[in-house]
Amino acid sequence: MSDPFLVVGGGPAGLSAAHALAAAGESVVLVEKTGILGGAPIHSGYSKLVPTGEWAKDAIGSMVSRVVGNDRIEVITDEVVQSFDGSPCNFTATLRGGRRINTKAAILCTGFTHFDSVNKPEWGFGRFPDVVTTTQVEQMISGGHGVRRPSNGEPPKRVAILLCVGSRDRQIGREWCSKICCTVSAKMAMEIREELPDCHVYIYYMDIRTFGLYEEVYWNSQEEQKVKYIKARIAEVTSDGDKVIVKGEDTLVKRPITIPFDMVVHAIGMDPNVDNMTIASVFGIDLHHWGYLKRENTYGVMGGTSREGVYVAGAAIGPETIDDSIGQGAGAAMSALGMVKGLVPA
Ligand SMILES: Cc1cc2nc3c(=O)[nH]c(=O)nc-3n(C[C@H](O)[C@H](O)[C@H](O)COP(=O)(O)OP(=O)(O)OC[C@H]3O[C@@H](n4cnc5c(N)ncnc54)[C@H](O)[C@@H]3O)c2cc1C
Ligand code: SF4
């Protein structure tokens, strides 16, 4: 039997790459660092996904099932690749546990790391219990307990969602836009309003970037659920012991604001995977100057990197949506297959 393809990372991109190769009749070894496949939507317990409104556990769960149930795909969990040597069509990957895998090509789908809001201390996370992140609210909703104030378990009557937390912020070294958080926040605001119709939800923004068809979520949030959008510069989040207080400037009317809320939600961004330095060194590929895995030859080889025979896809290369990550996973898989068959450059 010929050597398998190696897919590293079992999130949407990796599941898609593995499935595409298996569908083309190839064998695959998928190596996932954690004990569970599905990537961020499963590990972080996302609720309903944009744009489809499907529950993450169902949508991504079905991607996991078709990979786990495929006898052309071997899944290895709780493992990482420690070294990777050789040349295209003839690589050897050595896992941390010592197992060696001969492989024709590798597709890195190692994803991102959620921004840790403690790195934005003036916005109150970690100091006040009712300052939470979008991932925590996703978990409240997907866990079926509803949106509640962590301080007292009560449903909030006023919620502020602050955009661009850990994105577009040069002061803390995060210059990129995380691409999906405006849309996720608009969706989340609607979910809160549906569950708690008496709760007022405000979104504080610099710009709204609900790109492409996602603009529909923006309009629906205002027209159907009366979510209010305020263009502002937030200076700090404090507390009076009960309410959390958002302070800053309304940049449309150019007036200072000091507004009490029951809950403040940080729309956290997508940092480069904390493992990226190690991954780049193990696989001998370049990093983008912001710390993501770097793509090369963007218009020639889908998912190509600085090393022939090693490909990248999904949020490993920068903030991405799930459907783009799935598309890139399948695209990188086809690049790898074409290279092995001698049809396209490495
Ligand atoms: C709060 C929030 C909500 C979101 N909601 C949506 C939404 O509704 N719709 C949407 O389109 N997008 C959404 N996104 C974006 C979505 O999370 C990403 O598009 C998606 O997770 C990217 O998939 P991926 O497979 O590239 O990476 P990931 O999901 O990050 O998966 C990477 C996988 O690789 C594994 N891994 C990491 N390092 C290694 C290693 N060294 N070796 C082996 N395995 C490794 C990880 O454990 C993980 O399983 C949201 C993002 C955030 C922050
Ligand atoms: S998608 Fe929206 S919230 Fe996210 S970083 Fe870009 S502008 Fe900010």
Give the chain's mean pLDDT: 97
pLDDT confidence of residue 86: 98
Q: What is the pLDDT of residues 281-297, one digit of tens each?
A: 999 999 999 999 999 99
Query: From ligand 2's centre to the CA of 39, what distance in Å?
Result: 21
Query: From ligand 2's centre to the CA of 250, what distance in Å?
Result: 18
Q: Comparing C-alpha atoms, which of 242, 239, 269, 241 is closest to residue 125?
A: 239
In 90-239, DSSP assigns E strands to: 90-95, 100-103, 106-108, 112-114, 131-133, 158-165, 200-205, 228-239
- Ligand closest to the CA atom of residue 188: 1
pLDDT confidence of residue 230: 97
Q: What does pTM read for this prediction?
A: 0.97
Share of the chain above pLDDT 90, in %: 97
Cα distance between residue 108 and residue 293, in whole Å: 9
Confidence band of 10 (pLDDT split at 50, 70, 90)? very high
Return all residues near 185 (Cβ < 8 A) that are at least 6 apart.
Answer: 134, 161, 163, 203, 265, 267
Residue to substitute in 109, 187, 210, 310 for testing ligand 1 pocket (most ligand atoms within 8 angstroms of CB): 109
Cα distance between residue 128 and residue 331, in whole Å: 44
pLDDT confidence of residue 346: 62
- Region 139-150: mean pLDDT is 96
Cα distance between residue 323 and residue 314, in whole Å: 9
- Map tokens 């690749």 to a residue: 81
- Three-class SS of residue 76? strand
Q: What is the pLDDT of residues 299-320, one digit of tens each?
A: 999 999 999 999 999 999 999 9
What amino acid occupies position 250? D
What is the separation, in whole angstroms, between the first and last Cα of the chain? 22
- Region 243-260: mean pLDDT is 96
